[in-house]
């Protein structure tokens, strides 16, 4: 998300957008893009100012606890075993509400668990097994005390077993209770579409600028915000027609709408919650089936809330999520505030059936502060030194992650959490050949052939002329990284201050979401443009994807009917929010709710279809039909209202 750091603020005035002067329409788009960027700058400034105002109330001592580790050799593996534990041995990043996780051994072979805090004393608790059968978490009945050391002992293994023990330190959380969210003003009327049958909703318009040449790629999945306009997950057809908009209540945002495999089905996954001005989220990850029923929720564990940046479902109902953990930290060793704070970003591996945290990885244990491209905070504003923004689980169990603030991707070893290699940044394991340099990047992924991909923002502040999606080939023998391909938006050039993603389709085509410059484009392998569209350029999104999507909502179609000005004809509007495959509508009408007859059949036109019946009716209903004329769903009968009443209802400001 936004990078609210001292270096960002210092560089805000230096941001550059490339403006082609030969085409007025392009210039117009860039002007809108600048408006989006200016909105982001304002949000950053407001957020940082707010932090400075309240930060003093969070401080209780002349200096914060020491939290920068003397060594980065942490491992979650217990010596002489195949068991990985979290909090990791000797870590100083354990939350006061942490579980103690044992991964790699059956729950029946874990016994005699003793957890003792140096100040809080012995902790009673319960050992809860993972549904995968490979471990368990000891869940304490009470929290640990901030800053204390905790000793853990247990017997593991069959028979007499083996005694093991380790220690960890509890961190001192930085309270985010007073941290504001990003402001959410109303969108400009020209930016959204609204409908009679979806009262109150204002869905952002998706403008298609290059017609789709790859229909097999499917629909467009994205979100809106944080920023102007209403928040919620959004699905559009490649022609720009709205399919689904789930408007969220005020104060809640939606991010990262995607499609993943869950329990043998292709389901929607997304995040909802509060987006803080610090640049991360606190909320929950959601799984929805093709009827838009919520079938799973993950709120995070160990006292931390699920962050917006990534949510990946792996086999055996295991999920990987990002969590952000701002803690008090003495930053004097890195020329920051002695009474400072730092954002320790973490990965949680979660058992989706039980909600237990199977394993947890913390950036502070493995990545030094010297790798950050962001200057340490001079006040108490939490220093976002790492900014984890993607997790890619690999078939062998390792993880590949991207960190915006270090300009690098990291390969993490399964279980131990050790960094196996880095690509990019100031400690790259590979010589970065021409064109491979990253800056403020997002969305690192590993392809089946071993190449890695990123959305390389190149900003903020600007490092590159424009943002791009890159594919990088790693030569492990020569320890070199070479550019395999780069994809840029040339008409107009775009430089996204933050956010964005790169999706590689099975066909090898590339889908790019440009984040704060909210365009979505699809490219062939050779770089030719297959599709291009954008939301209003004074709004923004986090990621955008293309997936085939087929859905039939549990909720029935919606109908609104009114008499015309003369009172002799009936105007009917019908829609079915989230439905796919609706080819036409059968309109039924009559004098009584129980005696309706078919009066018209009309082709589906966009999200909402309208028609006029040449008679006055008291009740109306509608049936959604597929291309073969089969009924997919039907509304109940609704009473026809007067023309005057229809004017008083939620008339759309703009619709399509």
pLDDT computed for residue 647 by the predictor = 64
Q: Identify the H or E element spanning 100.
A: strand 100-103
Report the distance separating Cα 528 and Cα 543, nearest Å: 21
Q: Phi/psi of residue 35, each to 5°?
A: -60, -40
Instruction: State yes or no: pLDDT of 23 exceeds 90.
Output: no
Taking a C-beta distance cutoff of 8 angstroms, is the pair 389, 442 a contact?
yes
pLDDT computed for residue 61 by the predictor = 65
pLDDT computed for residue 648 by the predictor = 64
**What is residue 508's three-state secondary structure?**
coil
Instruction: State yes or no: pLDDT of 392 exceeds 80.
Output: yes
Chain centroid, CA 133 distance in Å: 29
Partner residues linked to 116 by β-bridges: 122, 151
Instruction: State yes or no: pLDDT of 656 exceeds 70.
Output: no
Instruction: State yes or no: pLDDT of 58 exceeds 60.
Output: no
For the chain, domains (ranges, CATH) are: 6-55+177-547 (2.120.10.30), 84-169 (2.60.40.1220), 558-648 (2.60.40.10)
**pLDDT (mean) for 271-278:** 97
Q: What is the DSSP string of 543-594?
A: --EEE------SSPPEEEEEE-TTSSSEEEEEE-TT-----EEEEEEESSTT
Instruction: State yes or no: pLDDT of 170 exceeds 90.
Output: yes
Taking a C-beta distance cutoff of 8 angstroms, is the pair 51, 64 a contact?
no
137-to-88, 97, 296, 556 alpha-carbon distances in Å: 13, 13, 20, 43
- CA atoms within 13 Å, Cβ hemisphere of 594: 0
pTM: 0.91
Report the distance separating Cα 115 and Cα 124, nearest Å: 8
pLDDT in tens, 136-146: 999 999 999 99
pLDDT in tens, 438-486: 999 999 999 999 999 999 999 989 999 999 999 999 999 999 999 999 9
Instruction: State yes or no: pLDDT of 224 exceeds 80.
Output: yes
Partner residues linked to 522 by β-bridges: 511, 531
pLDDT computed for residue 643 by the predictor = 77
pLDDT in tens, 77-133: 999 999 999 999 999 999 999 999 999 999 999 999 999 999 999 999 999 999 999
Instruction: State yes or no: pLDDT of 57 exceeds 60.
Output: no
Q: Determine what percent of the chain is predicted with pLDDT higher than 70.
A: 89
For β-strands 192-195 and 198-204, DSSP reports them as: antiparallel
Taking a C-beta distance cutoff of 8 angstroms, is the pair 552, 632 a contact?
yes
Dihedral sign for Cα 602, 606, 609, 610, please.
negative
Q: How many residues does the chain have?
A: 656
Q: Give the count of beta carbons closer than 10 Å to the beta carbon of residue 290.
A: 17
Reported as a pLDDT band with limits 50, 70 and 90, residue 414 is very high
Report the distance separating Cα 45 and Cα 538, nearest Å: 18
pLDDT computed for residue 651 by the predictor = 52
């Amino acid at each position: 998300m936004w990078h609210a750091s001292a270096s960002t603020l210092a560089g805000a005035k230096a941001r550059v957008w490339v403006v082609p002067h030969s085409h007025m329409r392009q210039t117009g788009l860039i002007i809108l893009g600048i408006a989006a960027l200016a909105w982001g700058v304002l949000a950053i400034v407001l957020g940082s100012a707010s932090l400075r105002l309240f930060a003093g109330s969070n401080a209780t001592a002349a200096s914060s606890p020491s939290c920068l580790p003397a060594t980065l050799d942490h491992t979650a593996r217990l010596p002489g075993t195949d068991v990985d534990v979290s909090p990791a041995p000797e870590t100083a990043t354990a939350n006061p509400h942490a579980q103690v996780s044992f991964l790699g051994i059956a729950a029946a072979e874990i016994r005699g668990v003793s957890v003792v805090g140096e100040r809080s004393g012995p902790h009673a608790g319960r050992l809860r097994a993972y549904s995968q059968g490979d471990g368990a978490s000891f869940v304490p009945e009470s929290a640990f005390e901030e800053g204390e050391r905790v000793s853990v002992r247990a017997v593991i293994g069959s028979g007499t077993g083996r005694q093991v023990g380790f220690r960890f330190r509890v961190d001192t959380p930085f309270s985010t209770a007073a941290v504001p969210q990003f402001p959410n003003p109303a969108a400009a009327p020209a930016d959204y579409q609204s409908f009679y049958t979806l009262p109150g909703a204002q869905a952002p318009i998706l403008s298609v600028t290059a017609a789709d040449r790859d229909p097999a790629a499917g629909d467009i999945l994205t979100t809106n915000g944080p920023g102007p306009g209403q928040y919620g997950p959004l699905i559009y057809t490649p022609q720009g027609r709205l399919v689904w908009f789930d408007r969220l209540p005020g104060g809640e945002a939606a991010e990262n709408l995607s499609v993943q495999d869950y329990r043998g089905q292709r389901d929607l996954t997304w995040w909802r919650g509060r987006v803080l001005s610090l640049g991360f989220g606190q909320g929950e990850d959601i799984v929805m089936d093709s009827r838009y029923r919520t079938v799973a929720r993950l709120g995070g564990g160990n006292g931390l809330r699920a962050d917006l940046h990534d949510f990946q479902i792996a086999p055996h109902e295991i999920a990987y999520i990002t969590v952000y953990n701002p803690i008090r930290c003495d930053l004097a060793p890195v020329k920051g505030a002695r009474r400072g704070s730092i954002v320790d970003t973490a990965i949680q591996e979660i058992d989706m059936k039980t909600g237990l945290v199977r394993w947890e990885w913390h950036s502070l244990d493995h990545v030094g502060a010297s790798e950050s491209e962001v200057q340490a905070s001079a006040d108490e504003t939490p220093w976002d030194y790492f900014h984890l923004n993607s997790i890619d689980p690999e078939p062998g169990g390792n993880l590949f992650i991207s960190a915006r603030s270090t300009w690098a991707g990291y390969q993490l070893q399964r279980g131990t959490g050790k960094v196996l290699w880095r690509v990019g940044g100031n400690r790259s394991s590979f010589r970065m050949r021409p064109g491979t340099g990253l800056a403020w990047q997002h969305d690192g992924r590993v392809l089946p052939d071993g190449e890695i991909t990123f959305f390389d923002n190149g900003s903020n502040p600007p490092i590159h002329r424009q943002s791009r999606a890159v594919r990088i080939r790693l030569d492990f023998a020569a320890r070199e990284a070479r550019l395999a391909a780069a994809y840029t938006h040339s008409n107009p050039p775009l430089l996204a201050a933050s956010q964005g993603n790169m999706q590689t389709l099975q066909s090898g085509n590339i889908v790019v979401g440009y984040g704060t410059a909210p365009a979505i484009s699809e490219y062939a392998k050779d770089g030719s443009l297959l599709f291009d569209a954008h939301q209003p350029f004074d709004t923004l999104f986090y990621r955008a994807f293309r997936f085939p999507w087929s859905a039939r909502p549990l909720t029935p179609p919606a109908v609104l009917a009114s008499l015309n000005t003369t009172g002799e004809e009936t105007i009917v509007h019908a829609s079915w929010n989230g439905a796919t495959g609706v080819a036409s509508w059968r309109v039924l009408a009559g004098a009584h709710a129980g005696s309706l007859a078919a009066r018209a059949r009309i082709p589906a036109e966009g999200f909402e279809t309208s028609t006029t019946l040449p008679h006055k009716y008291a009740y109306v209903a509608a049936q959604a039909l597929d291309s073969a004329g089969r009924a997919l769903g039907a509304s109940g009968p609704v009473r026809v209202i007067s023309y005057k009443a229809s004017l008083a209802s939620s008339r759309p400001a703009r619709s399509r």
